[in-house]
Structure 1
Amino acid sequence: MDYSYEPLPPINEVGQTPSFTRLMLLAPGIGDHPLECSLIVIDPANSPLQYEALSYVWGTERAPTPIRCGNGIIGITLNLERALKDLRVPHQTRPLWVDALCTNQKDLDERARQVAYMRQVYKHARRVVVWLGPLDGIRSRAIMRAQELCAFRAMLMETTFPDSNHVGESPSVTPEIEVILLDALNAESEHASAEALMQLFESDYFKRVWCIQEVVASRSAIAKSGDMEMDFYELLSIIKLILTKQIVDRRGPAFPPNTLQFWVTVLIQRDRSYYPNALKVENSLGKMLNVLMGIRDFQSTDPRDRLFAILGITDEGLQPVLANMEVMGRPNAKRLGMMHKAVAWVADKANSSRPGIDFGRNPALKPCYTKPAMEIYRNFTRYMVRKQPRLLDILSHVQHTKDPNGEPYPSWVPKFDTPRSVSYFPQQLYLAGVPYTGHYRYFAELHDCPLRGEAVEPNVLQLDGFIFDQVVAVTAPTNYTLHDDTPVENMWSQLFGVPLFPRSGLRYADGKEQADAAFFATLSAGAFGPALNLSDQIRKAGLEHERLESIEYLTQLGRNNIVRWLFQSRGYPVSTYQDLLPSGVSNFEQAMGDADSYHRGSWSMLLNRRLYRTRAGWLGLGPNAMRDGDILVVLYGGSLPFVLRPTGDDWLYIGDTYVHNSDLMNGHLVDRVRRGQRSHHPMTFRLV
């Protein structure tokens, strides 16, 4: 007989309700003995028993034998059966929290309620057990080698810094130590162990979206397989070495980034100090859109969990009232910090007064398994457009791989459950739709969306902006491998009637540079490359808060790289492309260019995109789904321009785009349009 779940205690009529959940008491046993357990209701914050929380991959294959629970049985997956047999002990009960058993998966309302409590469950657990799968030769070698490398690193740190106490992956690990560790990883005698480590990190656990919150929320976490275990964050610290090895072995392309790169973010967050007055949300990995950018290639069984699984690790999910106070520019940190504290205090007081208030939390941020994924994604998109500071960054998460006309989703709604098809443009550098001086009318505004109610036309997004230009020539989709030569001649020939080499002297649309220089810069989105690679470069230059200076610095760095790449790939000396270099620079040593950086950056930005030319002669890099006749527009609140396609009186959203036009990309044009100094006419676009 199937187990019958007793309902959880109801939500209190007055005051806050504890985060009630069930705890599994795993009965003792050994070997292939059938699994048995019982369930009790607890408040994780005040549990009478210390418990552990299991983090694992569900899997799809069903276990041949269900687990006996009280007077009934519960069907489980084969993965869970193996994990529980690994975890049970011979002579005593083991308290565990396991999502598949402690939540009634058939009760959609309970699932939504438990998802909201998930962070609390993992936060109050004595520790989180990360089960990596049954012990075999690969996992055994991988865990053993990881333990050896961590011990070796600790020894090197102690030798290098004898007066310091370094634990784990310290920020003080020097480049010299990293080289020594990489040499140890690559040692010929340890080839099998290095391969085992890479296979371990390619396993399903490191691709499951729920696993992120389960680990981030934990007090401590261990990685376990069979009877082998080690600190999970120590294991994560090896990922940096693996990523470096993949690049050295030419296995690791600039795109698509594997999920390991996001796990490095998790590791960094763990080591980050939290200061109460800082303008950061405690225990958060950052803004939802940034996290969604990093987890796009993760997996979840339910597409709605792409959003629900990160509510407990992002600013908007943890402190929605503070996330709604985000501002642009360089705010007064002390004043804003005091304001944040005051608003958070008010929100806590309001939420504790009676149930169901959830002050500051938009309905789009509440887990709900009774609505389809499209509706969840659509409502979330509207919320992200409407929340302060009303920017359109979420539209860059729309990545059409084919014509969106006739698709079940509105063209402007991101499909977060599909893998990323292109690299993201560096939004942080551009303000194409946001005037310099700023004005509430020129940030995004939804015309048909009441503050808390449903939109009048939920599948239509109405935004203001203006038409910039029309596309007249588009290249074929770009799809070559990182190890191929960049097919620049082929792409150029699809846009221009003169040869690319030797230089023709053809001027670009602005008359300030030659067309080929603009072309080479456009291939890598302004010679910057993908957004995820920019932060370190900007930080090293000391330009974290200077946007225009950052652009100028990165642009010149990119041009230096282009000149070096032209020499290495085509044999042209510095003198041929002297106009790309700073004044007074006449040789490669002075230019300091990096051909490989340009090759990787341009490949990363070009992959699955099209190069195009507009009627006025501007070059751009746009989505795979674009075609001749599409319209380039500026939408107020958009960091980037966008490609739209007219369909009757409405518009299809095709995607965001880079246009090689500094006046447009840096916000000068939109500022003049706002002042009525240009002939572009503002209008409302109905996106369907």
Structure 2
Amino acid sequence: MPASARDEDAARQYQYQRLSSPSEFRVLELFPGTADEPVSYRLHTADWKAPLAYEAVSYAWGDGGHRHPVICDGLQHMISLNLRDGLIAMRLEDRSRMLWVDSICINQKNTEERGQQVSHMRSIYEGASRVLVWLGPDIESRGEQAIAAIREITKECLKRRDKDMDEASLRSVDELWDVLPTERLEGLRCDNPETWKALAWLFSRPWFSRLWVIQEVNSNEDVQLLCGGSQVSWDAAVVTASYILRNATIHRHWGFPESYYSNAYYMRRRYWLQQVSLPSLLNWGRSFKASEQLDRVYALMGMPSFTKMSITWKADYSKSKKMLYEDVATKCIREMKNLRVLTYSQHSQDDKSFPSWVPQWDREALYEPINDSLTKVHWKASGNRGLPADTEIAAGVLRVNGVVFDVVESMRPLGSATWSHRQLDHPVLQFWERQRRESRAYPTGETNLEAFSFTMTAGLGHDLRKALETRESFNADFAAYLGQLLRQSAYNPTAYRSVTVAGKGGNWSHYDDLVRRKCRNRTLLLTKRGYLGLGPTCQVGDYVCILQGGEVPFILRSTNGNFRLVGDAYIHGIMEGEGMIDPEMFKSKRFDIH
């Protein structure tokens, strides 16, 4: 293309004018039109001191490589195909509509403006008259069918709970799970395979997988979902997602396992979102999608876990990933006055360029943290010792006091923890068989088999409380689980008669669910002093350490006199500060963790 032609083409492209103050923002006036007319709009500059009335749009950006021309202030403007379809669906025929759309109202090429506007994202959505969620075009009327089912399910749930409740009243309900009936609804018109498939299709829309939308739907009480020409409230959609989640006979079939229906339920858990710690929130966010590494933090910055901290958070897109993630970990340690954020650090020891104690939030979680705030359990491996005042963080190094409690002697990777109940080399059966031959006491005075049963669930009972608090029922569940494995693995019944007796009244699936959850991608380890643990992928000679301010033990690896964090661990018998009792045996030392 000749230079003159390129210059002429650039002149026809819309050019953003710089915002003159931090309190200014843009609002899009979507001009009226019919479905077959091109999309046309104008951008207005507004100010927080006297904002225009507008609706905020939430949508999945889609493939940034496929962009389509629209008209902005008479000039060509390129937007994604999904957004163009959404604007056509939201456009009115007889009058303009005032909207806020992030990719249009923010100059995405200006990193300074982008950071400033993103820092106010929650305020933008709070200030909107309502939030419009664009799920995408309807295909073969599946969206229409699914939304009709959402209305029916929600209506029936409310009828059984309180005949005076309606869909609008759901806005004031913090936990929508409480709206559900305990039994499956009978007589629903939508209770058929085709409609369940339509609902699974709706909950498979990419919007339900995006990280940014969590903040967007939690910043305004009036949120409406749009799919093609159909519309329904966000609250009603979540009631339906919760109903599906509650009924296994539904969510195990018809495409739901491949959908994001459970995301909808968790995104709307207001009480949990108010209480959850910042590291746990960021860890939960790993299961959602974001196009940029920095957005793993910035997309959630308006959530209570951030806003409740005394530190002011601002988006800065000039930062590197390493700078931002280290800054987040440092602020968490200083603000929370503990080392909980370290339990979320799960990355390769080969990556020496990144501090081992700093979680990389853009990487998929390999396993569940031992002390995650999603459970009701909070361990205190360092006793009542808080974070020491002399804890230092400088140049990517965390300097903290603690003790070396033990050393890893052997270990067994547990993989996906989805072992077949019929396999003879099942780790639980192997351990049970060894105990029959050489039973010995555990360091705490329990049997090794008892210690093993607690270790495999990281000390949790099926109600996600400490198993020791309900030891009798926990032991029965474990015995029932062991009996289930033995029966299906063709053992001689006389060999496990005592197990059958002990498991009477127990629920083997309770224990099985916990094992699958807590052992996934973990390593079963044995220390030189005879302690059993559930840790990260480690190696012989790694140190089992208790760091002051740490709620759980950590596995550290010594490298040229310094240390790198391998990961967090459950070590049975030292989770309540027992490893800090004898200061003569376990002398405090200084750890430089790189």
- Answer yes or no: same fold by TM over 0.5: yes
| Contact 1:52–1:97 (8 Å) recurs in 2 | yes
Structure holding more strand per residue? 2
| Contact 1:112–1:368 (8 Å) recurs in 2 | yes
Measure the CA separation in 2 of the matches of 1:151 and 1:212. Answer: 25
What is the match of residue 635 of structure 1? 547
What is the match of residue 543 of structure 1? none
Once the two structures are superposed, residues 610-666 of structure 1 have per-residue CA deviations (whole angstroms, 9 ceiling, x without a partner) of: 111111111111113x112211100111111001111111111110001111xx101
| Contact 1:62–1:76 (8 Å) recurs in 2 | no
Higher alpha-carbon deviation: 232-241 or 67-76: 67-76
Sequence identity percentage:
25
SS of alignment partner, residue 181 of structure 2: helix
What are the equivalent positions in structure 2 for 1:666-681 lying under 5 Å apart? 666-670=576-580, 672-673=581-582, 676=583, 678-681=584-587
Check 1:174–1:490 CA distance in 2 against 1; reply closer, same or farther (3 A cut): closer
What are the equivalent positions in structure 2 for 1:12-91 lying under 5 Å apart? 19-44=23-48, 46-48=50-52, 50-63=53-66, 65-91=68-94
Over aligned residue pairs, what C-alpha RMSD do you find?
A: 3.1
Once the two structures are superposed, residues 19-46 of structure 1 have per-residue CA deviations (whole angstroms, 9 ceiling, x without a partner) of: 3210001111222322111111113563
Instruction: After TM superposition, give the deviation of residue 569 of structure 1 in Å.
Output: 2.8
Structure 2 unaligned segments of length 5 or more: list them: 1-11, 488-492
Measure the CA separation in 2 of the matches of 1:209 and 1:173. Answer: 22
SS of alignment partner, residue 31 of structure 1: coil
Instruction: After TM superposition, give the deviation of residue 268 of structure 1 in Å.
Output: 3.5
Q: Does 1:387 align with 2:332?
A: no
What is the match of residue 202 of structure 1? 204
Instruction: After TM superposition, give the deviation of residue 93 of structure 1 in Å.
Output: 1.1
| Contact 1:45–1:120 (8 Å) recurs in 2 | no
State which of 113, 118, 126 in structure 1 corresponds to 2:116. Answer: 113
Higher alpha-carbon deviation: 485-494 or 26-35: 485-494
What are the equivalent positions in structure 2 for 1:141-540 lying under 5 Å apart? 141-157=145-161, 161-162=162-163, 167-168=169-170, 177-181=181-185, 184=188, 187=191, 190-246=192-248, 250=252, 260-261=261-262, 263-269=264-270, 284=274, 286-315=276-305, 317-321=306-310, 360-361=311-312, 365-388=313-336, 390-400=337-347, 403-427=348-372, 429-436=377-384, 438=385, 442-444=386-388, 447-449=391-393, 455=394, 457=395, 459-481=396-418, 484-485=420-421, 489-491=425-427, 500=433, 503-504=436-437, 506-510=439-443, 512-528=445-461, 534=464
Instruction: After TM superposition, give the deviation of residue 606 of structure 1 in Å.
Output: 1.2
Return the letter of the residue paired with 2:281. Answer: V
What is the match of residue 602 of structure 1? 515
Instruction: After TM superposition, give the deviation of residue 228 of structure 1 in Å.
Output: 0.5
Once the two structures are superposed, residues 264-314 of structure 1 have per-residue CA deviations (whole angstroms, 9 ceiling, x without a partner) of: 244341xx6xxxxxxx9xx94643223223222001111111111111112
What is the match of residue 349 of structure 1? none
What is the match of residue 558 of structure 1? 474
| Contact 2:70–2:76 (8 Å) recurs in 1 | yes
State which of 20, 24, 41 in structure 2 corresponds to 1:9. Answer: 20
Once the two structures are superposed, residues 232-279 of structure 1 have per-residue CA deviations (whole angstroms, 9 ceiling, x without a partner) of: 111111111222345766579xxx99865453244341xx6xxxxxxx
Once the two structures are superposed, residues 98-123 of structure 1 have per-residue CA deviations (whole angstroms, 9 ceiling, x without a partner) of: 00000000110111100111111111
What is the match of residue 135 of structure 2? 132
Higher alpha-carbon deviation: 99-108 or 289-298: 289-298
Measure the CA separation in 1 of the matches of 2:287 and 2:186. Answer: 26
What is the match of residue 354 of structure 1? none
Measure the CA separation in 2 of the matches of 1:600 and 1:515. Answer: 22
Measure the CA separation in 2 of the matches of 1:21 and 1:376. Answer: 25
TM-score (norm 2): 0.87
Measure the CA separation in 2 of the matches of 1:74 and 1:176. Answer: 46
Return the letter of the residue paired with 2:286. Answer: R
Measure the CA separation in 2 of the matches of 1:419 and 1:369. Answer: 22
SS of alignment partner, residue 119 of structure 2: helix
What is the match of residue 658 of structure 1? 570
Once the two structures are superposed, residues 63-87 of structure 1 have per-residue CA deviations (whole angstroms, 9 ceiling, x without a partner) of: 5532221143322111111111111
| Contact 1:54–1:98 (8 Å) recurs in 2 | yes
SS of alignment partner, residue 591 of structure 2: strand
Return the letter of the residue paired with 1:607. Answer: R
What is the match of residue 558 of structure 2? 646
Once the two structures are superposed, residues 332-379 of structure 1 have per-residue CA deviations (whole angstroms, 9 ceiling, x without a partner) of: xxxxxxxxxxxxxxxxxxxxxxxxxxxx42xxx321100111210011
Measure the CA separation in 2 of the matches of 1:598 and 1:488. Answer: 19
Check 1:474–1:404 CA distance in 2 against 1; reply closer, same or farther (3 A cut): same
What is the match of residue 593 of structure 2? 687
SS of alignment partner, residue 611 of structure 1: strand
